[in-house]
Amino acid sequence: MKCAHTAIQSNNLTEVHCGKNEFLATVPAIEPTTDTTMISHHHKCIFVHIPKCGGQSIETAFLQDIGLDWRRRAPLLLRPNNNPDLGPPVLSHLLARDYVGLGYVPQEMFDAYFKFAVVRNPFRRVVSMYQYLPTKQKFRDFVRTTLTNEKSHPLFYFVRPQTDYLVEGNQVLVDTIYNLESISEGYADLRKRIGLKTDLPHINASSERTTQEPLKAIKLAVASFLRGDTKSVFGKKDKHTVWQDFFDRDSQARVAEYYKKDFEMLGYTLELNAS
């Protein structure tokens, strides 16, 4: 049975008018990936997903709430992007201002929907990036070579400051910012606001790794080789039980400078032991 639907804007985002079972039968399966962004018309909300801030758990909760699985996530705009005119190569890199600026939603919808994001301590976010990405660099070298403002860097959109995703000029574009450090309380508030029925699942580090991981490893290795940085390909990765132990004075200073606006606007301290 075909499911009647009406396109609501130009990027193949559709508002579905049919029963749940009919709808599920029409949704194609796509390969798993953690590179996502999310619009839920059912909940009338937009989630600005900042990399390495617990976003996949949030997205999984929304999928479960409307009866979808990760392979049938396209109706929430949870998909890669192959058109450079419509944003970065993966939609997890979409900034709040790009939802309207690149035509994913009209301004009226963006204003009407509840918009939220999850942020975390910038020091811990950098450690999480380092542990997740398939680099073989020492942590201090990873910080030195990866925290860059060069948009041509293969990881720029992954490591860029959290405030880049949320702010245009001096205006915060989302309605609510939750902290990953207190996500249980934040998620309880989110459930009340938009009527979510599902609990927040925990997506651990091993389950986050998907079929995109080999591609990321290849891209990172090629980029490092072209820069003449063979240590990132053939070196040995740092391992510590306590996340503060990854930092020396230089790497701490570099992170503090690169994420200066994050520390100032999001209320995190520059002291490692107080974070």
Read off the pLDDT of residues 85-113 as tens digits, 9 standing for 90 and up.
Answer: 555 445 556 899 999 998 888 999 999 99
pLDDT of residue 15: 33
Contact 60, 4 (CB under 8 A): no
Asked whether the predicted pLDDT for residue 31 surpasses 50, the reply is no
Question: Please, which residues have CB within 8 angstroms of residue 254's CB and are 6 or more apart in sequence?
Answer: 143, 144, 147
**Residue bearing the bigger pLDDT, 216 or 148:** 148
**Residue bearing the bigger pLDDT, 120 or 133:** 120
pLDDT digits (tens, 9 = 90+) for 9-29: 333 333 333 343 443 333 333
- CATH 3.40.50, domain 39-266, yes or no: yes
- Rounded to 10 deg, the angle between the 249-258 and 139-146 helix axes is 30
**Residue bearing the bigger pLDDT, 136 or 265:** 265
pLDDT of residue 30: 28
Residue-averaged pLDDT of the chain: 75
Q: Domain extents for the chain?
A: 39-266
Band of residue 39 on the pLDDT scale cut at 50, 70, 90: confident
Asked whether the predicted pLDDT for residue 179 surpasses 90, the reply is yes
pLDDT digits (tens, 9 = 90+) for 41-53: 888 999 999 999 9
pTM of the model: 0.73
Once rounded to an integer, what is the mean pLDDT over residues 216-236?
A: 57
Asked whether the predicted pLDDT for residue 213 surpasses 70, the reply is no
Separation between Cα atoms, residue 157 and residue 71, nearest integer Å: 24
Asked whether the predicted pLDDT for residue 35 surpasses 50, the reply is no
pLDDT of residue 37: 52
Question: Please, which residues have CB within 8 angstroms of residue 145's CB and are 6 or more apart in sequence?
Answer: 137, 224, 227, 229, 232
